[in-house]
């Protein structure tokens, strides 16, 4: 039964997670994190993400009132990098890597996070995401939108923002999901995550929130305690394929999920999240029907605002392991109020 240890298969990553439900009762004497600061100023001229502030490269931000996209001043990828030297041995391979890194501010105010923004403001973020995937995806095969929220996730700036990295190559996770989804479609005749969403909508035990177009589940194979997967109900490959009403209902379900996250431990909930959709650039000409658009949310918190899950030891050297079952996590999230604790 779910009360005893067992392993679960993750069909999207083709790997396994060890679920040790009986360990949830063990005492905690490990590291305690500091809760995030509550007194973030709404506007700070020294904060490089604020309207009118000066950035590291000397550029002054416009006095923006909605979303604001600009090139990352310290990009991990640049459009014109020299080719690496030819390898003299198969164990020492390198390949070219080019790309563009952008930063996107969600809102002019530093003290707002997505769950505290209005639906039209969240909808503007979604529109900007779709525009960026269209624009950068015209030439680049992969456009990764990701948000690191909170100091615990290495986010150095409290201002609400995300990053968008476009690359000339398909990154590891994209290659993996491309392979597993392609395999599933050829073996079962239906896109994996479309079938999965239908199953979870029916079973309900891992459901967190749902509406007419979307559902959020703690996936059956989740590795992080309160990890969630955001899925559309219809078959859709990329963010830019969403209809206006689907973007509205996406804003709503994101707000509901993120309010629940904040309410769980009554703290601005840290996470890393990101969108995965069908590859772009040259792949726009190919059939990518095996793909299904989805977003992953990976929060590190485990038992309280100050106790986090570390992926170390067994996880790094053997495989992912969790104590709280995905069903227990989903039940806790599902039962939380949808009005923000603030």
Model confidence over 103-130: pLDDT tens digits? 999 999 999 999 999 999 999 999 999 9
203 assigned ligand-binding residue = no
Model confidence pLDDT, tens digit, residues 208-241 = 999 999 999 999 999 999 999 999 999 999 999 9
| Structure confidence at residue 26 (pLDDT) | 65
25 assigned ligand-binding residue = yes
**How crowded is the C-beta side of 51, counted as CA atoms within 13 Å?**
14
Structure tokens that stand for 173 in this block: 């996770």
10 assigned ligand-binding residue = no
* Topology at the third CATH level for domain 37-82+92-177+187-335: HIT family, subunit A (3.30.428)
321 assigned ligand-binding residue = yes
CA angle 233, 268, 36 (to 5 degrees): 150
| Structure confidence at residue 30 (pLDDT) | 74
pLDDT at 97 over 90: yes
189 assigned ligand-binding residue = no
User: pTM of the predicted model, to two decimals?
Assistant: 0.96
pLDDT at 85 over 80: yes
> Cα separations (Å) of 195 from 132, 175, 260?
28, 20, 26
| Structure confidence at residue 286 (pLDDT) | 97
Instruction: List, in sequence order, every residue forming a beta bridge with 308; answer none if it has no partner.
Output: 301
If 0-12 CB within 10 Å is exposed, 13-18 middle and 19+ buried, where does residue 258 land? buried
Find out whether 295 and 177 touch, Cβ atoms under 8 Å: no
177 assigned ligand-binding residue = yes
The set of catalytic residues is 161
Lowest mean pLDDT of 1-10, 78-87, 140-149, 285-294, name the range: 1-10
332 assigned ligand-binding residue = no
| Structure confidence at residue 136 (pLDDT) | 98
182-207: average pLDDT: 98
| Structure confidence at residue 208 (pLDDT) | 98
> Over the chain, what is the mean pLDDT?
95
Q: To the nearest whole percent, how much of the chain has pLDDT over 70?
A: 98
Structure tokens that stand for 179 in this block: 């392979």
Model confidence pLDDT, tens digit, residues 17-72 = 999 987 766 666 778 887 777 789 999 999 999 999 999 999 999 999 999 999 99
Backbone angles phi, psi at 245, to 5 degrees: -70, -30
């Amino acid at each position: 039964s779910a009360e005893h240890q067992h392993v679960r298969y993750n069909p999207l990553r083709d790997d396994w997670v060890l679920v040790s439900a009986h360990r949830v009762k063990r005492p905690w004497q490990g590291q305690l994190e500091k809760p995030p600061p509550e007194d973030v100023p709404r506007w700070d001229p020294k904060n490089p993400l604020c309207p009118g502030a000066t950035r590291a490269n000397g550029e002054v931000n416009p006095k923006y009132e909605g979303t604001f996209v600009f090139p990352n001043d310290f990009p991990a990828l640049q459009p014109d990098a020299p080719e690496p030297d030819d390898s003299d041995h198969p164990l020492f391979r390198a390949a070219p890597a080019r790309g563009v890194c952008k930063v996107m501010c969600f809102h002019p105010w530093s003290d707002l996070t997505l769950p505290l923004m209005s639906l039209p403001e969240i909808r503007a973020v979604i529109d900007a995401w779709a525009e960026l995937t269209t624009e950068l995806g015209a030439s680049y095969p992969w456009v990764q939108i990701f948000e690191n929220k909170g100091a615990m996730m290495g986010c150095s700036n409290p201002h609400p923002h995300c990053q968008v990295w476009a690359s000339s190559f398909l990154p590891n996770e994209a290659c993996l999901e491309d392979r597993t989804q392609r395999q599933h479609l050829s073996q079962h005749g239906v896109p994996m995550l479309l079938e999965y969403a239908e199953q979870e909508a029916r079973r309900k035990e891992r459901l967190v929130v749902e509406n007419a177009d979307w559902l959020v589940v703690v996936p059956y194979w989740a590795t992080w305690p309160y990890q969630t997967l955001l899925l559309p109900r219809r078959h859709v490959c990329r963010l830019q394929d969403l209809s206006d009403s689907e973007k509205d209902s996406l804003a709503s379900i994101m707000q509901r999920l993120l309010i629940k996250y904040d309410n769980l431990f009554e703290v601005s909930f840290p996470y890393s999240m990101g969108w995965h959709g069908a590859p772009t650039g040259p792949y726009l000409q190919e059939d990518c029907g095996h793909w299904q658009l989805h977003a992953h949310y990976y929060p590190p918190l485990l038992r309280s605002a100050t106790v986090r899950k570390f992926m170390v030891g067994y996880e790094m050297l053997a495989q992912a392991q969790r104590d709280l079952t995905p069903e227990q996590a989903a039940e806790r999230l599902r039962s939380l109020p949808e009005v923000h604790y603030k």
